[in-house]
A and B are shown apart, each in its own frame.
Chain A
Amino acid sequence: MKIVAITACPTGIAHTYMAAARLEKVAKNFGHEIKVETQGAMGIENKLTESDIRQAQIAIFAVDIEVEGRERFNGVKVIQVPLQDALKNPETIFSKIQR
C-alpha cells in the first residue's frame, strides 16, 4: 500500500521527528511504502508533492496541532490520530488501515 503521512507537535522540536521515524520504520515492517512530511520547528520538510498525494491510498495525520495545507488532501482518505499514538502504538494504526 502507498501511504503518505504528516507529523506535527506543538513545539516541533522532538516528537515530530521521532514520530516520523517511527511511522517509517513500522510501515516498512508492514510492507507498506510511506512518505512522511514533518511540520516542525524547521518548517515543512520532506514535503508531500501533488503526485505523492494522488498516488497514495491513505493519508495519516499524526498531529497535535492543525495541519498546514490540509486542502491538498481533498478527496483523499485521511486517518487522524494524536501524535502519541504514532509514537507509542503505530502498529495499531497500520492494523486499522489494513482492515
Chain B
Amino acid sequence: MTKGAHTSLELTFQCPLESGLHARPASHLAEVANRFSSQCSVTNLRNGLLANAKSVLNIIAADIRFQDRCVLVISGPDEQSAHPALLQFIENVLPQCDVPLAEAPTSSNVAIIPRQLQAAGVICIAGIPVSRGIAQGKIKVLDKITLPRNIDSPVAVDPEIELSRLKEAITAVRARISEKLKYAVTPLGVAVLQANLAMAGDVSLLERITQAVLQGKSVAQAVVEACELFVDLFLHSENDYVRQRSADVEEICFQLLEEVGGIQLSPPLELTEPSVVVAEALAPQQILGLNRQWLKALVLENSATTSHAAILARSLGIPTVAAVRNAHLLLTSGREVLVDGDRGIVIPTINASVRRFYDREQTTLKLRRERGLQQALEIASTTDRRKLEVAANATSAEETEAALENGADGIGLFRTEMIFLGRDEPPSEEEQFTIYSEAAKAAAGRPVIIRTFDIGGDKKVPYLNHAEEDNPFLGYRGVRLYAEHQDLLLSQLRAILRASEFGAIQIMAPMVSSVSEVLQFKEFISRAQQQLRDAGSPFKVGIPIGIMIEVPAAAFIIDQLSPEVDFFSIGTNDLSQYFFAADRTNPKVSSLLSVREPAYLRLLSHIVESARKSKKWIGMCGEMASDLDLLPLLVGLGLDEISITSSEIPEFKRSIAELDSTACAELFQRALRCQTKEEAESLLPGHASPTTRPLLTEDLILIDSLSQTKAEVIQEMVDAFYVSGRTNHRHVLEEALWAREALGSTEVGYGFAIPHCKSDALTANSICVLRLREPIDWNSAHPERVRMVILLALRESDRQNTHMQVFSSLARKLINDDFRHSLLAFKDSAATKNFLARELDL
C-alpha cells in the first residue's frame, strides 16, 4: 500500500487486498468510520463510484478491487480525530483484515466426468467443483424464499411507531447473528457473520427504510423496497463478486421482515439423516443453521465460487457442487444421490457401476493420504539421504497441534506479535506463559522456536506510544525496541523460560543487525533467568538462543555472531526488501525484488556457507521457503530446515524425497551464475527436473487386476500414479493417455497393450505394469483381447531422453516370445519388478 498524501482531510490509498474491498473488510472500514460523527466518503478513482464509507453496502457497490486507487474524504466536527484513526486503519489494519480463503478444488472451473462412468452410461449432472470431498445422502430441497413485491399487512400506523419497530427488529436480528457468532468455529465463519452483522445495521439501508417510512409506508413495505434497491444495484454490477452479495442483503432483509411481521419465514430445515441440501442459492446463515452432523453435501444452482455459501462450505469442509442448472427440478427430495465435490458432478442414480468406481476412489484417496502422512511423520530426506527438516509457522497451541498432525518436524517460527496487537494493555506474563506452555506441550517434544515480539514497522500497538515514522520499516522495530521497553521484554522472556519446562523451546530475536544487539539480548535473558531464580520459579537452563537474519548487515558478520548464538533463521520477506531497497507492497518497484534474482541467491549462499563454516544450524522462514517451485534451490542451498505453512508440509516432504541433493547443489550453483532471474527461473523443474526417482517401483506393478474395461484399467493405473505421488493431477494424466488412444489403438498384439503419453502432470518418468486376471477388449476393431498392459509415461519437459532408451528397449523386447511369456507368468509384483529391472538394466 502506498502512503497517504495528507492534503486537507483526504486520504488516498490503494486497495491492498487481493480479493478487493469486499464485504468482510468493508465491514471493518465502516465500523471505524461509524465511530465518528463526521461525514466520510470513499471514491473509487478507477470507476468514479462514490460511497458512504459508513455503509458496508455502499462500499461493496463501489467495487473496489486490488490496487484500485481510492480517496477517502472526511468532513465534520470530529474530522481531526477521525483522520488519524482512519489513516491508522488503512495503513495498519486493512492490509491484514482479510481471512485467507481455502482454495477451490480446481482452477479450471469445469466438471470432470470420469471416462469409466461415461462408458458405463452413468448419468452425471455437471456443475462446478466448489468444495472438495465426496459424499452421499438423501436430497433435501431448500426452497428459495422470494421477496414479496408488496406487503399488504401490517398496514402502516404512525411513522414514529413504525420506526421504533424497525429499531427493535434491527436489534433482534443483530442479536441473533451475535448469538451465532459465539458458535462460529472457523475464522472465516466469524468474518462472514461479522460482515452480516454490519449489514444488518448498515446506515444506508437504514436511511432508505427510514425515508420510505417517513413517506407513510409501513416498515415492512419499506424494508422490501430498500432490499429491492440494493439487490438491483448489486445485480447490475459488472463484478461477479458484487453480484453475489445480493444474496447477503436479501437474507438480512428477510430477517428484518420476519421481525416486523411482514412475512412468515419457513422454519429452518431440520435434518435427521445423511442429507444433501439442494438450493438455488444459500445465505451463509442458512448454512450455519443446518445440522452439521447430517449435512453431507451441498448442491447449488447459483454459479458463484465466490459466494459466501461457497466460501463457507470450503472452510467447513462440506463437499459442494455449484452451477447445477435446474438442480431443484433434476434432484427431487428424498432421492439418494452422490455428490463429487472434487470433480464437480452429482450422480442421481447410484448403481453398481457408480459403487464400483467410488469404492475404488475411496481406497485410492485413503492410500494416498496414508502414504502422505506416513512420509510426513519422518524427517524428509532426499534420494541421496540428505535430511531437511520441514517445520511450520504458528502463532498458537491450536496451530501447533495442527502442524504436528500435518507432520511438522517442529515449529520453526512461533510469532508472538499477535498476542501484543489489537489491545489497549500489554499481555501479562501469566497470559503469555499459558500460550507458550500450551504450544510447547502441543509440540510433543519437537522444537518450538519462539520469536520475541517484533512490533513496529507495519505492526503498531497503542500502549507503546510510538511517534509516527516516515519510514516505519527502516525504523524503530524488533530488537531495537527492547532497551526502551525492558519490562515488556523481560516479562515475555520470563514467560518463555518458564514454558520451556514443558517442551523443547528455543528463543529467537528479530531484526538483529549487530553483535552488540545480540549481547544485549542475551543480557536480558540472563536477567529474566535471575528474576525467576529469585522468585523460585522453575525453568530450563541453557535453552538454545538464535537470531533472525533479515537485515543485510547481519548477513556479513555471521562469523562474529556465531560464537554468541546457537542458530540462525533467514527471514526472507524483510531480507529481500532491505537487500533490494524496494518496498514489496509498492507495485512500481516490487518487481525488482525477486528471490530468484542471482544477487539474492548469492546473498543466501554467503549466509549459509558462513553458518556452515561456523558449524551453526541454519533454517529459513518466510514466503520463499513456502514456494514449492523453489524447493530444489533451497535443497541445493544446503539449509538445515525450512519453516512453512503447515498444510503444505506433506507435499513438501513428498517432493524432498524425490530430489537428489547433489543435482540440486549443481542446480543452485548454475543459478548463481545466471545473469537474470528469468534465466535462473528457467533452470527450475518443469524445465529440467533433478528428480532421480526410479522409473519402476513395485507399487506400480499391479498383478491380477479385476478391472473389466479399458477405461477402468487406465483409471486404475493412473490411481497407482496418484497414490505413489507420481502425479498430483490425475485427470490431466488420464486425458493425455486418452489423447494418444484417440490417434489409434495402443494394442500391439500377443494380448499386450502399451498405452503411453508425455505429460508434465507426472512428477517422474515411470513404467506401470498391469496384468489382468481376465482378458478384456482393448479396441473393438481388433478381436484380440488384452491381458497385459504396460504403461510408459514420460515428462513432457524432460529433454534429456534418459529414459527413452529404456522405453525403446522394452518395446523391442516385447517381440521376444520368452520375454512376454515370463511377464505373463510371474506370481507377484516383486518377481516382475526384478525381472524387468534385470532385462532393462535399471
Q: List 25 A-B contacts (CB under 8 A).
A: A9-B744, A10-B743, A11-B740, A11-B756, A11-B757, A13-B757, A13-B758, A14-B746, A14-B748, A14-B756, A14-B810, A14-B811, A15-B748, A15-B754, A15-B811, A16-B811, A20-B812, A21-B814, A38-B808, A41-B758, A41-B801, A41-B807, A42-B804, A87-B748, A88-B782
B805 contacts the other chain (Cβ, under 8 Å)?
Answer: yes
| Set A16, A21, A42, A84: member contacting B805, Cβ < 8 A | A42
Quick one: given A18-B815, A21-B812, A41-B794, are A13 and B749 in contact (CB under 8 Å)? no
In the complex, chain A residues 40-83 whose Cβ is within 8 Å of any chain B Cβ: 40-42, 64, 82-83
A32 contacts the other chain (Cβ, under 8 Å)?
Answer: no
Cβ of B804 and Cβ of A14 under 8 Å apart? no
CB neighbours (8 Å) of B815 from chain A are 18, 21-22, 25
Chain B count of residues within 8 A CB distance of the other chain:
26
B604 contacts the other chain (Cβ, under 8 Å)?
Answer: no
Q: How large is the interface on A (under 10, 10 to 19, 20 to 34, 35 or more residues)?
A: 20 to 34
Within the assembled complex, what's the spacing in Å between the Cα atoms of A20 and B748?
Answer: 13
Within the assembled complex, what's the spacing in Å between the Cα atoms of A13 and B740?
Answer: 11
Complex A-B, nearest 10 residue pairs according to Cβ-Cβ distance, in ascending order: A17-B808, A21-B812, A17-B811, A18-B811, A21-B815, A14-B754, A13-B756, A14-B811, A42-B804, A10-B743
Within the assembled complex, what's the spacing in Å between the Cα atoms of A25 and B815?
Answer: 8
Cβ of A64 and Cβ of B754 under 8 Å apart? no
B745 contacts the other chain (Cβ, under 8 Å)?
Answer: yes
CB neighbours (8 Å) of A16 from chain B are 808, 811
Q: Is the interface of B mostly helix, strand, loop or mixed?
A: mixed
CB neighbours (8 Å) of A21 from chain B are 811-815
CB neighbours (8 Å) of A14 from chain B are 746, 748, 754, 756, 792, 807-808, 810-811
Most B-side CB within 10 Å, residue of A11, A25, A40: A11
CB neighbours (8 Å) of A25 from chain B are 815
Which residue on chain A has the smallest CB distance to residue B745?
A: A84
CB neighbours (8 Å) of B805 from chain A are 42
Distance to closest chain A CB from B750 (angstroms):
10
Quick one: given A22-B815, A64-B743, are A13 and B748 in contact (CB under 8 Å)? no
Which residue on chain A has the smallest CB distance to residue B814?
A: A18
| Set A10, A40, A84: member contacting B808, Cβ < 8 A | A40
Within the assembled complex, what's the spacing in Å between the Cα atoms of A41 and B801?
Answer: 8
CB neighbours (8 Å) of A42 from chain B are 801, 804-805, 808
Within the assembled complex, what's the spacing in Å between the Cα atoms of A34 and B757?
Answer: 29
Question: How many pairs of residues, A versus B, come closer than 8 Å at their CB atoms?
Answer: 72
Quick one: given A15-B748, A87-B748, are A10 and B740 in contact (CB under 8 Å)? yes
In the complex, chain B residues 702-750 whose Cβ is within 8 Å of any chain A Cβ: 740, 743-746, 748-749
Cβ of B804 and Cβ of A13 under 8 Å apart? yes
Most B-side CB within 10 Å, residue of A16, A40, A87: A87
CB neighbours (8 Å) of B792 from chain A are 13-14
Which residue on chain B has the smallest CB distance to residue A20?
A: B812
CB neighbours (8 Å) of B754 from chain A are 14-15, 18
Within the assembled complex, what's the spacing in Å between the Cα atoms of A9 and B810?
Answer: 16
Cβ of A88 and Cβ of B756 under 8 Å apart? no
Within the assembled complex, what's the spacing in Å between the Cα atoms of A38 and B809?
Answer: 13
CB neighbours (8 Å) of B794 from chain A are 13, 41
Within the assembled complex, what's the spacing in Å between the Cα atoms of A21 and B754?
Answer: 15
Within the assembled complex, what's the spacing in Å between the Cα atoms of A15 and B740?
Answer: 12
Distance to closest chain A CB from B710 (angstroms):
17
- B-to-A contact residues, CB < 8 Å: 740, 743-746, 748-749, 754, 756-758, 782, 792, 794, 801, 804-805, 807-815
CB neighbours (8 Å) of A18 from chain B are 748, 754, 811-812, 814-815
Within the assembled complex, what's the spacing in Å between the Cα atoms of A18 and B744?
Answer: 15
Within the assembled complex, what's the spacing in Å between the Cα atoms of A41 and B754?
Answer: 15
CB neighbours (8 Å) of A82 from chain B are 744
Cβ of A64 and Cβ of B744 under 8 Å apart? yes
Which residue on chain A has the smallest CB distance to residue B807?
A: A13
Given known contacts A17-B808, A84-B744, what 6 new A-B pairs fall within 8 Å (CB)?
A: A13-B794, A13-B807, A14-B756, A41-B794, A41-B807, A88-B748
Distance to closest chain A CB from B817 (angstroms):
10
| Set B757, B782, B812: member contacting A17, Cβ < 8 A | B812
In the complex, chain A residues 81-99 whose Cβ is within 8 Å of any chain B Cβ: 82-84, 87-88
Most A-side CB within 10 Å, residue of B792, B807, B808: B808
CB neighbours (8 Å) of A84 from chain B are 744-745
CB neighbours (8 Å) of B814 from chain A are 18, 21
Distance to closest chain A CB from B820 (angstroms):
12
CB neighbours (8 Å) of B809 from chain A are 17
| Set B749, B756, B757: member contacting A87, Cβ < 8 A | B749
Distance to closest chain A CB from B548 (angstroms):
49
Within the assembled complex, what's the spacing in Å between the Cα atoms of A10 and B741?
Answer: 11
Mark interface residues in A1-44 (1 if CB within 8 Å of B CB, else 0): 00000000111011111101110010000000000001011100
Which residue on chain B has the smallest CB distance to residue A83?
A: B744
Distance to closest chain B CB from A54 (angstroms):
27
Which residue on chain B has the smallest CB distance to residue A24?
A: B815
Within the assembled complex, what's the spacing in Å between the Cα atoms of A13 and B792?
Answer: 8
Within the assembled complex, what's the spacing in Å between the Cα atoms of A14 and B815?
Answer: 12
Which residue on chain B has the smallest CB distance to residue A88?
A: B749
CB neighbours (8 Å) of B808 from chain A are 14, 16-17, 38, 40, 42
Distance to closest chain A CB from B745 (angstroms):
7
CB neighbours (8 Å) of A87 from chain B are 748-749
Within the assembled complex, what's the spacing in Å between the Cα atoms of A15 and B748?
Answer: 8
Within the assembled complex, what's the spacing in Å between the Cα atoms of A88 and B699?
Answer: 31
Within the assembled complex, what's the spacing in Å between the Cα atoms of A18 and B820?
Answer: 13
Distance to closest chain B CB from A82 (angstroms):
8
CB neighbours (8 Å) of A13 from chain B are 756-758, 792, 794, 804, 807
Cβ of A17 and Cβ of B748 under 8 Å apart? no
Which residue on chain B has the smallest CB distance to residue A87?
A: B748
Within the assembled complex, what's the spacing in Å between the Cα atoms of A71 and B634?
Answer: 51
Within the assembled complex, what's the spacing in Å between the Cα atoms of A85 and B746?
Answer: 12
Distance to closest chain A CB from B818 (angstroms):
13
Within the assembled complex, what's the spacing in Å between the Cα atoms of A88 and B757?
Answer: 21
Which residue on chain B has the smallest CB distance to residue A12?
A: B804
Which residue on chain A has the smallest CB distance to residue B781?
A: A84
CB neighbours (8 Å) of B758 from chain A are 11, 13, 41
CB neighbours (8 Å) of B746 from chain A are 14-15
CB neighbours (8 Å) of B740 from chain A are 10-11
Which residue on chain A has the smallest CB distance to residue B756?
A: A13
Within the assembled complex, what's the spacing in Å between the Cα atoms of A13 and B808?
Answer: 7
Within the assembled complex, what's the spacing in Å between the Cα atoms of A25 and B814?
Answer: 12
Which residue on chain B has the smallest CB distance to residue A84?
A: B744
Most A-side CB within 10 Å, residue of B809, B812, B814: B812
Cβ of A41 and Cβ of B811 under 8 Å apart? no
CB neighbours (8 Å) of A20 from chain B are 812
Which residue on chain B has the smallest CB distance to residue A65?
A: B743
Within the assembled complex, what's the spacing in Å between the Cα atoms of A42 and B806?
Answer: 11
Distance to closest chain A CB from B743 (angstroms):
5
Distance to closest chain B CB from A43 (angstroms):
8
Distance to closest chain A CB from B747 (angstroms):
9
Distance to closest chain B CB from A63 (angstroms):
11
Within the assembled complex, what's the spacing in Å between the Cα atoms of A64 and B744?
Answer: 9
CB neighbours (8 Å) of B811 from chain A are 14-18, 21
Most B-side CB within 10 Å, residue of A10, A13, A21, A87: A13
Within the assembled complex, what's the spacing in Å between the Cα atoms of A44 and B756?
Answer: 20
Within the assembled complex, what's the spacing in Å between the Cα atoms of A7 and B827?
Answer: 35
Which residue on chain B has the smallest CB distance to residue A43?
A: B801
CB neighbours (8 Å) of B782 from chain A are 88
Distance to closest chain B CB from A41 (angstroms):
5
Within the assembled complex, what's the spacing in Å between the Cα atoms of A53 and B744?
Answer: 29
Within the assembled complex, what's the spacing in Å between the Cα atoms of A60 and B131?
Answer: 55
CB neighbours (8 Å) of A88 from chain B are 748-749, 782
Distance to closest chain A CB from B465 (angstroms):
69
CB neighbours (8 Å) of B743 from chain A are 10, 64
